[in-house]
Chains A and B, each alone.
Chain A
Amino acid sequence: MANDATTSMHSEVVAPHDVHEHPWYQRHHFETAEQQREAASFGMWLFLLTEIMFFGGLFMAYLLYRNWYYDAFVSGSNTLSLFLGTLNTVVLITSSFTMACGVWAAETRKKGMLLLFLGITLFLGFVFLGIKGIEYKEKFDLNHVPGAHFDISEFVNPPAHSHEKPLPVDMANRTQIYFSLYFAMTGIHALHMIIGIGILFVLLYKAWQGVYTTGYVQPIENFGLYWHLVDIVWIFLFPLLYLINRH
């Protein structure tokens, strides 16, 4: 019996590469391409779980400080542009839609469509970051960035035309906590967008080479999962940061 096992193991080792048919992208440690795909998807989801917990800590901090310094959070939130925030939400959800269509194009092996959808997704990613940049610049111009130059005057003495209620000085200083969370959460979200855009360039190039329209869909699918998760994070960030109390 020991001899059997030895022979069996030996035949495993020397099996030539071309003894059976399998797709070119299937790695040798997987029994089937489908098993490989499932493993890749599972692995991607495990990574996304760490992302959920990573953003989760920030959401937790947000919930706590919003409960503690609600008035400061309302005043800080209402300095954000509702128009630009809504526009960016539409831009990002649209990019998620085009990315989902990109996965479909890869699965149905339509190279032109795949390039088109990845291209639109990439473009919308840049639009999102551009709008975010405009919003950040306004915060810097108004000295609403936490730190030594933070200006609380707008919160202590709201302009006559605004509907904001004046805050006491200590509560007005708490708006820095709101803006700290605003910059941390939207900044890390934007960092994910920048990383995603970088990966998209690579995917576009390889898609142009025809790599992903031969049945090899995993990289497109897994990138889609990443892009959608970034979209989900924004779906929560938008109402929590922009829409605390608008009436």
Chain B
Amino acid sequence: MAHQVSSAHNAHGHHDPSNVTNPEHVEHHLVTPMMYLAVYGILMLGTALTVGAAFLPLGDFNAVTAIAIAVTKAVFVVLFFMHVKYSSRLTKLTVASGFFTFLILVALSLSDYISRAWGQW
């Protein structure tokens, strides 16, 4: 019995790739420079749009437009330049939880400030 266990280890070697059952075992995807170039074009377009939109008299919607364009650009960078579109669920969940935690930071802090002493600063 002991001998069998030992020889099984020798046959497989020190490492046993078939032993890897973790879900992050994803196929590796190669993003091509043409894809990067397309994303780069979108980012340049977004930069031009955000500068142009700043000159339009949109009132409060100037800030909304600027942030919406910035978020769109950031999503393209995260998905393609940072390969998250082609990453494992573990990576996707990690990235999403990071940005979600940031939104909690902003939402809870601002709701606290808004609900106290508004207009008395």
- A residues within 8 Å of B by Cβ? 3-4, 7-8, 11-12, 15-17, 19-20, 22, 28, 30-32, 34-35, 37-38, 41-42, 45-46, 48-49, 52-53, 56-57, 59-60, 63-64, 68, 82, 86, 89-90, 93-94, 96-97, 99-101, 104, 107-108, 221, 224-225, 228-229, 231-232, 235-236, 238-240, 243-247
Contact = CB atoms under 8 A, between A and B. Distances in A.
Contact of B16 (A16, A31, A90): A31
A86 B47 contact: yes
A64 B98 contact: no
B55 A60 contact: no
A21 to B, nearest CB: 8
Interface string B49-64: 0110011110000110
A228 B31 contact: no
A243 B14 CA distance: 59
Contact of B81 (A11, A20, A224): A224
Question: Number of contact residues on B: which range applies?
Answer: 35 or more
A243 B20 contact: no
A93 B87 contact: no
B5 to A, nearest CB: 5
A21 B22 CA distance: 21
Interface of B: 1-2, 5-6, 9-10, 12-17, 19-20, 22, 24-26, 28, 30-33, 36-37, 39-40, 43-44, 47, 50-51, 54-57, 62-63, 66-67, 69-70, 73-74, 77-78, 80-83, 87-88, 90-91, 94-95, 97-99, 101-102, 105-106, 109-110, 113, 121
B110 A228 contact: no
B50 A34 contact: no
B82 A35 contact: no
Contacts of A20: 12-15
Contact of A93 (B31, B47, B105): B47
16 contacts: A11-B6, A11-B10, A19-B14, A20-B15, A31-B15, A31-B16, A35-B20, A35-B22, A37-B28, A53-B105, A56-B105, A93-B44, A97-B37, A101-B36, A225-B82, A229-B82
A235 B62 contact: no
B16 to A, nearest CB: 7
- Closest 7 A-B residue pairs measured CB to CB? A20-B13, A49-B98, A243-B54, A239-B66, A15-B14, A97-B40, A7-B2
Nearest to B1: A4
Nearest to B41: A97
Contacts of A225: 82
A7 B91 contact: no
Determine which residue in B5, B50, B82 has the highest number of CB atoms from chain A within 10 A of its CB, and name it. B82
A243 B54 CA distance: 6
A235 B105 contact: no
A20 B14 CA distance: 7
Contacts of A46: 94
Contacts of A101: 33, 36
Contact of B25 (A35, A60, A104, A228): A35
